[in-house]
Structure 1
Amino acid sequence: MAMSIIWWFWSLLAICASDTFREKAEEIMKTTPVIDGHNDLPWQLLKLFNNRLNVSKANLNTLTETHTNIPKLKAGFVGGQFWSAYLPCDTQNKDAVKRILEQMDVIHRMCQRYPETFLCVTSSSGIRQAFGEGKVASLIGVEGGHLIDSSLGVLRALYHLGMRYLTLTHNCNTPWADNWMVDKGDDEAESEGLSVFGKRVLKEMNRLGVMIDLSHVSVATMKDALEYSEAPVIFSHSSAYSLCDHRRNVPDDVLQLVKSKRSLVMVNFYSYFVSCSKDATLSQVADHLDYIKKVAGAEAVGLGGDYDGVTELPAGLEDVSKYPDLIAELLRRNWTETEVRGVLSENLLRVFSEVELASNNMQVPEEEPIQLDELGGSCRTDYGYSQAPSIHLQIGALLAFLVPLLFSLNLL
């Protein structure tokens, strides 16, 4: 009987302590809400509704087929979201630019359709304004460098339409940057990190004030970007390689560079990046946060759940409403209130502000285009290239080929 009473007492104490941590988490999040680095709801809107927001099933107040809807965002104290404007690699050298414009458009239309919930912003001050108005600051992250079609002009156009980070690759190389599957051995290295043109892309992103996102890139690309960028960079949805040796995660030597560059790793919740299996737990996600804090510092840690872009999520983090439970776990692990506020929002706001400060629109834009022979695809025109073949050059090249051949055949 006495043992039963003792067991009951300690169970009750644990429950009360858990409630206290949860209450503390919510209290903090009322003034410092979550800024999440990566949510693929726009991809789901394309797949489920072909971007038709007016159909009744697409109502974000009642949508049940996704990890994200408006009630879940409110329950999760999400105050800032980088919505992913994403198209797969099979659009490369095809209709990538058209399709990315459509995905950016649907994000803008989300803000227009639900103005009481979303405020589309393009700056760190805009995020703070949305916080003050109790709305979800909605920003655009373009996921995949293939979506600029190796064009500095397209890069600038997407910036003017609201892009505030660009993930340099997705699951394929671009003509100017290598992706993570090079490290896995599934792709051949083409640029050995960043090519000369890739470094121009980085320089132009710095000039504009677009954050450089290194999720999905190879380790060589990570190191090149961390070396050449004049501003801090982000990993919008990646975790710690030492805890799960998936090549999408960030190794320790890169975490050291993240620390020295005052950059940010926003931890991904995808189970295969958390535990390297389909089963993971909220506690294991907290382990990744702990580990990055230990190696790179508390100011280098953020949240990039990858909701609606993944199929397997940890127990306890099934949708965007669950963020308070993760913050409660960090408090349980003796994270300070300052550190927790950093993870929630302040670390991202610091990086974003430093990127903005490093930008200089008065500088001359990068103008040197990628070499024509570095581009793939067979449906390209060559207008503007000084060495583009004209009819005269084609005839000259043909004669240069034919004359030696005719001599060798004793026909001349």
Structure 2
Amino acid sequence: MKPRIFDAHCDTVFELQEQKKELNRNDLHLDLQRMEEYEGYIQVFAAFVDQKSICGTCMNHCIALLERMHREIEKNSKQITLIQTAEDLEEVIEKQKIGAVLSIEGGEALEGNLAALWMYYRLGVRLITLTWNHANEIADGITQSRGGGLTDFGRQAVAAMERMGILIDVSHLSVKGFWDVAEMTQYPFVASHSCVKALCPHPRNLDDDQIDLLISRRGGIGINFFPEFLTQRPDCIIQDILRHMEYILCRGGDETVGLGSDFDGVEALPADMTGVQDMGQVVQAMLDYGFTQNQVKNIRFENFRRIFHETMRRSM
């Protein structure tokens, strides 16, 4: 049996919808058959919303993806459980089952309406990535050249998310937006699928000040497996993932760094990976690299378990 895993981000539900595939078994990066090989697996499934590439409204698109994920969970209820509360989380862990946490990647799904937060909460959403790469009603994304921070609506939305127990995710957010979130929040927040800018100077990666802030706030950083975020070399291997983990650990991030694979949301993986079946290989590589048993346990599971547990305890 492979080790227990908590992965803070994948885009599998989007690909299931687009390619008309099934969660139980498919040829994507992730399916239930391969996840069942682990001693429990908790996956955050993102409903990806990019306003520049979808037909119809952002809200309708998002609801359709969430509805698809609900149908997949119901259809495979013996294998996977929807996690909506801290109690759900602990029960899934105790039973060593697969657990699904629903999230939204792209706050344009709210369409500037705070009431939409209540609706998404009732649909099971427990994390929202405030922006994708572009600007929306909440803030500017990282590719927006003006680099604006949170809007007035964005501040209201972030405050409401903290009250409701919806985890705030700053991956893809502008640098100004990151610091606005840091200034106005009191609870831990996360960068669910981001890497280290000092090791790979991609705009999507976090600088040292951002990393240190997340460490000091006991937030989370899920290391993304996309080669363009990991290295500037033409080749990329699992060891490059470990370099980013090690960098954060060396800054005191034992309780911060975790997994944020971005499965089915990236065009490529490291050369020695093909999907979720290789998560055990990543864990073994951490041990071979010299990480302590406790560090490995935190990275592969405990850090995001703590953050989600604490967030869900604030749920309405």
TM-score bracket, shorter-length normalisation:
over 0.9
- Correspondence list, 1:75-224, <5 A: 75=37, 77=39, 79-90=41-52, 95-182=57-144, 187-189=145-147, 192-224=148-180
- CA spacing shift, 1:174–1:319, aligned 2, 3 Å: same
Q: Which runs of 5+ in 2 are unaligned?
A: none
2:86 partner amino acid: S
- CA spacing shift, 1:288–1:77, aligned 2, 3 Å: farther
Cα distance, 1:339 vs. partner?
1.5
Deviations 1:343-401 (A, max 9, x none): 122111211233235x374xxxxxxxxxxxxxxxxxxxxxxxxxxxxxxxxxxxxxxxx
Match of 1:67 in 2: 29
Determine whether 1:225 maps to 2:205: no
SS in 1 for 2:115: helix
- Alpha-carbon separation, structure 2, partners of 1:92 and 1:176: 19
- Correspondence list, 1:10-409, <5 A: 26=2, 29=3, 33-49=4-20, 58-64=21-27, 66-75=28-37, 77=39, 79-90=41-52, 95-182=57-144, 187-189=145-147, 192-276=148-232, 279-357=235-313, 359=314, 361=316
Deviations 1:128-187 (A, max 9, x none): 2112223211110100011111110001110111000000000210133111113xxxx3
Match of 1:403 in 2: none
Structure 1 or 2, whichever has the larger Rg, is 1
- Alpha-carbon separation, structure 2, partners of 1:48 and 1:68: 14
Cα distance, 1:305 vs. partner?
0.3
1:188 partner amino acid: R
Q: Is the 8 A contact 1:39 1:305 kept in 2?
A: yes
Matched residues, number: 316
Q: Is the 8 A contact 2:49 2:58 kept in 1?
A: yes
Q: Is the 8 A contact 2:149 2:177 kept in 1?
A: yes
Q: Is the 8 A contact 1:74 1:321 kept in 2?
A: no
- Alpha-carbon separation, structure 2, partners of 1:100 and 1:296: 37
Deviations 1:187-237 (A, max 9, x none): 333xx3112221111110000000000110011111111221121001111
1:82 partner amino acid: V
| Length-normalised TM-score, structure 2 | 0.94
Cα distance, 1:93 vs. partner?
11
SS in 2 for 1:172: coil
Q: Is the 8 A contact 1:203 1:229 kept in 2?
A: yes
Q: Is the 8 A contact 2:166 2:311 kept in 1?
A: yes
SS in 1 for 2:71: helix
Q: Is the 8 A contact 2:107 2:137 kept in 1?
A: no
Q: Which runs of 5+ in 1 are unaligned?
A: 1-22, 50-57, 362-412
Cα distance, 1:43 vs. partner?
0.8
2:9 partner amino acid: H
SS in 2 for 1:137: strand
SS in 2 for 1:181: coil
Cα distance, 1:291 vs. partner?
0.8
- Alpha-carbon separation, structure 1, partners of 2:30 and 2:177: 31
SS in 2 for 1:90: coil
- Alpha-carbon separation, structure 1, partners of 2:88 and 2:167: 16
Q: Is the 8 A contact 1:233 1:263 kept in 2?
A: yes
Residue identity (%): 27
* Bigger mean CA deviation after superposition, 283-292 or 330-339: 330-339
Write 1 or 2 for the structure with the bigger share of helix.
Answer: 1
1:272 partner amino acid: E
- CA spacing shift, 1:129–1:217, aligned 2, 3 Å: same
- Alpha-carbon separation, structure 2, partners of 1:360 and 1:80: 19
| Length-normalised TM-score, structure 1 | 0.73
Q: Is the 8 A contact 1:76 1:322 kept in 2?
A: no
1:233 partner amino acid: F
Q: Is the 8 A contact 1:255 1:296 kept in 2?
A: no
- Alpha-carbon separation, structure 2, partners of 1:170 and 1:283: 27
Q: Is the 8 A contact 1:37 1:81 kept in 2?
A: yes
- Alpha-carbon separation, structure 2, partners of 1:231 and 1:290: 25
- Alpha-carbon separation, structure 2, partners of 1:92 and 1:199: 26
- Alpha-carbon separation, structure 1, partners of 2:112 and 2:297: 38
SS in 2 for 1:80: strand
